[in-house]
């Protein structure tokens, strides 16, 4: 409803509703203030409420009695528009760029080799929490040398990570042989 009043700033155009108490708000800033100070039903068990999704809005042509929410199917990706998440993605991209900076182009994997790493075999091995933790740790490396040292240590520490690494190398080598 386009003319609804925001319960936080009293402005018009409150398109979103709090998932806990259904109070209306108009922006991410108002949602955060509402969540921190005004929400009558704070999140339970320390879980936080996520910011409004661009996929959940009230239909602008309905009256107060006829409000319907339009929710995207569960399979739709939720696009985050918060500055914090954008900053995290930029930091992640910068870390990856930093790790790849000194690798000569001819030493990098081709796109076709990278695509074969999307196999169900690799995906299955990524379900191991230790392997995922090790990969996240390597991604936090300051440079390629540190990343390489961490990888070598992880391979000797964890049979699951060693198996994951071997599977990746075998798939890439098979792809190069064909």
Tens-digit pLDDT profile for residues 105-146: 777 777 777 788 888 888 888 888 888 888 888 888 877 788
Confidence of residue 73 (pLDDT cuts 50, 70, 90): very low
What local confidence, expressed as pLDDT, does residue 54 receive?
43
**Which of 54 and 34 is assigned the larger pLDDT?**
34
Per-domain residue ranges for the chain?
1-81, 83-177
Mean pLDDT, rounded, for 11-28: 84
Q: What is the pTM of this model?
A: 0.41
Mean pLDDT is lowest, of 62-66, 136-140, 157-161, for 62-66
Look-up: residue for tokens 């003319």? 3
Residue 117 corresponds to which tokens in the numbers above? 């790493």
3-state secondary structure 139-152: HCCCCHHHHHHHHH
Other Cβ atoms closer than 10 A to 97: 9
Look-up: residue for tokens 């190069």? 176
- State yes or no: pLDDT of 46 exceeds 60: no
Look-up: residue for tokens 């998440």? 85
Q: How far apart are CA 34 and CA 37, in angstroms?
A: 5
Mean pLDDT, rounded, for 64-72: 44
Mean pLDDT, rounded, for 42-71: 43
Q: How far apart are CA 161 and CA 89, in angstroms?
A: 25
What local confidence, expressed as pLDDT, does residue 3 receive?
73
pLDDT, mean over the chain? 72
What local confidence, expressed as pLDDT, does residue 72 receive?
44
- State yes or no: pLDDT of 63 exceeds 70: no
What local confidence, expressed as pLDDT, does residue 178 receive?
59
**Which of 164 and 69 is assigned the larger pLDDT?**
164
């Amino acid at each position: 409803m386009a003319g609804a009043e925001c319960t936080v700033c009293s402005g018009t155009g409150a398109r979103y509703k709090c998932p806990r108490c259904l109070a209306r708000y108009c922006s991410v800033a108002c949602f955060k203030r509402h969540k921190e100070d005004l929400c009558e039903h704070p999140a339970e068990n320390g879980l936080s409420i996520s910011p409004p999704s661009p996929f959940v809005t009230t239909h602008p042509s309905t009256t107060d009695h006829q409000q319907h929410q339009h929710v995207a199917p569960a399979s739709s990706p939720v696009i985050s528009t918060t500055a914090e998440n954008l900053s995290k993605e930029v930091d992640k991209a910068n870390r990856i760029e930093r790790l790849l900076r000194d690798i000569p182009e001819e030493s990098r994997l081709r796109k076709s080799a990278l695509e074969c790493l999307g196999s169900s075999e690799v995906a299955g091995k990524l379900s191991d929490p230790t392997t995922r933790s090790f990969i996240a740790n390597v991604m936090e490396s300051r440079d390629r040398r540190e990343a390489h040292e961490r990888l070598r240590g992880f391979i000797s520490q964890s049979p699951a990570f060693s198996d994951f690494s071997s599977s990746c190398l075998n798939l890439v080598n098979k792809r190069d042989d064909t």
